[in-house]
Structure 1
Amino acid sequence: MNESPKAATTPIRVAVIGYGYWGPNLVRNFSGLDACVVTAVCDLDEAARATAGRFYPAVRIVGDVEELLGSDDVDAVAIATPVSSHFSLAQQVIRSGRHVLIEKPMTTTSQEARELISLAEDAGVVLMVDHTFLYTGAVRKMRALLEEGEVGTPYYFDSERISLGLLQQDINVIWDLAPHDLSILDYLFDERPTTLQAVGYRHVGSGREEMATLNLHYASGLHAQIRVSWLSPVKVRRTMLGGSRRMIVYDDVEPSEKVKVYDKGVVLDLDGEDVTPQKPIYRAGDVSIPTLDRAEALQVETAHFLECIRDGSRPLSGGAEGLAVVELLEAADRSLAQNGAFVTL
């Protein structure tokens, strides 16, 4: 359906459910966009509601989702609550005819994710998952370098995402941190892994894995390793991508030079006179630092959500992408249950 000129310029009215850890960031970024207005914030916690009210006195603050959705001042809803509540909340939002943005991971099961995709399609609303890192200038640059052939044949993806906390009560460290890296993998490479292994450890009595390593194998020969931890004394957010031509290091903690491209590699040309498997040639060229888009990823993402609502376009991180990540998280659970066995995907 084509929008009238007036409808195309009328700000989209956005509500946020959950004003704990991530919700304030969503409210701040939506509030900074001319294409929308934040009309409501919902949270069960009285203290959270009070905080939201102090920062945003013009916004309606409620403690009940039914009250939120019962009003006619909401066109779209962002959900920033524990993952166990994502499915039921998103169901209510979609069935009320509103567009929805869900914090990662999308749901606790792939079946729930499929149901939400089907509901959104039937209702004709936008369903998007908050895979924030896909909207960083760094990850977009990595994809561009891959598409341009600068990396050559990809060999490996190696990621480390570790820090001290925050321990979650309803999910383990894989479900908490690995969705970032799994969504990046899905975005960078046009293939799905064939097998997955997960090894996890419990140390502090939380009852859930606080440290873990994932290994993913691909039919092309690509291998990905992801290490996540809540028990590191230092914060590390580093990804390395190696290929036949160049290697990329993405350090999200680095304040300015987040992406570095290394013209390094190993050449094993058996036709060369002095080259043998025991004497390979190590190539060590220049290091380049590409210019990146410095826009805050969450602002790029929230603006993209509004654009998808406006023009009906498919989100970069839509329901299908959210489902793909949840399927890998479920596979990780199966591997953990089998003491780290590789599971077929």
Structure 2
Amino acid sequence: MIRIGVIGCGYWGPNLIRNFVSCPETQLVWACDLDNNRMMKALRSFPNVKKTTNFMDILADSNVDAIAIATPVHTHFPIAEKCLHEGKHVLVEKPLAVSVEQGEKLVQLAAKQNLRLMCDHIFCYTGAVRKIKDMIKNGELGELYYFDSVRINLGLFQQDVNVIWDLAPHDLSILSYLIGSEPVSVSAHGLSHAGNSLENIAYLVLKYDHNFIAHLHLNWLSPVKIRRIIIGGSEKMLVWNDLDPDEKIKIYNKGIMVKKLKQEERSRLLVSYRYGDMYAPQIDNTEALLLMVSEFASCIEENRPALTDDKSALRVLRVLEAAEISVKSHGANIPLKYT
């Protein structure tokens, strides 16, 4: 059993606490938050968990195997770095850090210490994403053409990151997991309407080295909440509406058929349309966060990379950083390099 300490009892921390208690592979030993009242509220149902307002108390406990970090983004790097130096495995709320440079340092430190470093890219553990992954792997959608996501709502405005760094990690981690390849370039546009320099609306376009493109629409200033992804393939198309309680995924047997023309006839494009049935497959409703904390424990026990390991988190960071550069450069196309 992996003994866990959680740092941060704010928005996401209580969810981690609840699932670490529920998971049969983990034991929640410590919790920490600078706000004692907030921490007491989060631990009201778990009186046996030790409490502290100084996370160094947790690091000093040799009985603690691993740390989960659910703190503001700008604190991820310094806290994770201290945890790794003290020999603790680390789970970090997304994104891994505020820059590629910081992310690389954490990845290198984890490797040097032979410790597991994992990022909480929670959507990769949902039943919907796991179902889509199976369908892509089995070739049900055919050759993939595009990925189009809309992740918008009114708020929650963050104080230390813009809408790209807050919302895009979800879709970028999903993309990386589903597609199995990384974009070669990104261009982005964004604007701020809140009286600061943090963009609250953004559009990202990711290009790949094959005939595939991805578009992300991110917005904190929408009158409605939408969580929708459309994936188009040569055989079938898919719509994932995460807010639909009953039919989250719908598969459409629709597409186009292009007739091959002779050389002298290529000025005429013969496209016909295929209209077929729609169906909604059954998906596993196991809580994604429970699967994620179980994966964290398992990757430590088995000394293997996690599904959302530090290297996958670093790939997400590369796109985020390039997208921010593009926004500041009025939508310039920024090439991506991976090491």
Deviation of 1:281 after TM superposition, in Å, equals: 1.3
Q: Give the distance between the partners of 2:193 and 2:141, measured in 1 at CA.
A: 39
Can you give the 5+ residue segments of structure 1 that lack an aligned partner in the other structure? 1-10
Residue 311 of structure 1 corresponds to which residue in structure 2? 302
Deviation of 1:131 after TM superposition, in Å, equals: 0.4
Q: Give the distance between the partners of 1:206 and 1:23, measured in 2 at CA.
A: 27
Residue 319 of structure 2 corresponds to which residue in structure 1? 328
How many matched pairs? 333
How high is the sequence identity, in percent, across the aligned residues? 44
Question: Is the Cα–Cα contact under 8 Å of residues 154 and 244 in structure 1 kept in the other structure?
Answer: yes
Deviation of 1:33 after TM superposition, in Å, equals: 1.1
Summarize deviations over 1:248-272 as a string: whole Å, max 9, x none: 1111111021111110001121459
Residue number among 98, 101, 117 corresponding to 1:111 in the alignment:
101
Question: Is the Cα–Cα contact under 8 Å of residues 269 and 276 in structure 1 kept in the other structure?
Answer: no
Question: Is the Cα–Cα contact under 8 Å of residues 52 and 61 in structure 1 kept in the other structure?
Answer: no
Q: Is 1:292 the counterpart of 2:283 in the alignment?
A: yes
Q: Give the distance between the partners of 1:13 and 1:277, measured in 2 at CA.
A: 67
Amino acid at match of 1:107: A
Q: Is 1:169 the counterpart of 2:156 in the alignment?
A: no
Amino acid at match of 2:28: V
Question: Is the Cα–Cα contact under 8 Å of residues 268 and 277 in structure 1 kept in the other structure?
Answer: no
- Match of 2:253, SS state, is strand
Residue number among 327, 330, 335 corresponding to 1:339 in the alignment:
330
Change in Cα spacing, 1:70 to 1:119, as seen in structure 2 (3 Å) is: same
Deviation of 1:72 after TM superposition, in Å, equals: 2.7
Q: Give the distance between the partners of 1:141 and 1:277, measured in 2 at CA.
A: 39
- Comparing 67-76 and 232-241, the one that deviates more: 67-76
Residue number among 50, 66, 91 corresponding to 2:81 in the alignment:
91
Residue 271 of structure 2 corresponds to which residue in structure 1? 280
Question: Is the Cα–Cα contact under 8 Å of residues 270 and 277 in structure 1 kept in the other structure?
Answer: no
Summarize deviations over 1:124-143 as a string: whole Å, max 9, x none: 11110000000011111111
Question: Is the Cα–Cα contact under 8 Å of residues 237 and 254 in structure 2 kept in the other structure?
Answer: yes
Q: Is 1:261 the counterpart of 2:251 in the alignment?
A: yes
Deviation of 1:67 after TM superposition, in Å, equals: 1.4
Residue number among 163, 182, 186 corresponding to 2:172 in the alignment:
182
- Match of 2:227, SS state, is strand
Residue number among 220, 228, 234 corresponding to 2:218 in the alignment:
228
Deviation of 1:197 after TM superposition, in Å, equals: 0.6
Change in Cα spacing, 1:288 to 1:277, as seen in structure 2 (3 Å) is: farther
Q: Give the distance between the partners of 1:75 and 1:48, measured in 2 at CA.
A: 24
Q: Give the distance between the partners of 1:225 and 1:247, measured in 2 at CA.
A: 16
Summarize deviations over 1:217-263 as a string: whole Å, max 9, x none: 11101010000111111111100000111001111111021111110
Question: Is the Cα–Cα contact under 8 Å of residues 150 and 226 in structure 2 kept in the other structure?
Answer: yes
Deviation of 1:151 after TM superposition, in Å, equals: 1.0
Residue number among 230, 236, 239 corresponding to 1:249 in the alignment:
239
Residue 123 of structure 2 corresponds to which residue in structure 1? 133
Can you give the 5+ residue segments of structure 2 that lack an aligned partner in the other structure? none
- Match of 2:30, SS state, is strand
With the length of structure 2 as denominator, give the TM-score of the two structures.
0.95
Amino acid at match of 1:223: I
Please identify runs of 4+ aligned residues in structure 1 that moved more than 3 A.
275-279
- Comparing 302-311 and 203-212, the one that deviates more: 203-212
Q: Is 1:150 the counterpart of 2:140 in the alignment?
A: yes
Residue number among 202, 206, 211 corresponding to 1:212 in the alignment:
202
Amino acid at match of 2:332: A
Residue number among 39, 51, 59 corresponding to 1:61 in the alignment:
51
Summarize deviations over 1:101-138 as a string: whole Å, max 9, x none: 00000001111111111111111111100000000111
Question: Is the Cα–Cα contact under 8 Å of residues 185 and 335 in structure 2 kept in the other structure?
Answer: yes
CA RMSD of aligned residues (A): 1.5
With the length of structure 1 as denominator, give the TM-score of the two structures.
0.93
Q: Give the distance between the partners of 1:277 and 1:163, measured in 2 at CA.
A: 44
- Match of 1:264, SS state, is strand
- Match of 1:20, SS state, is coil
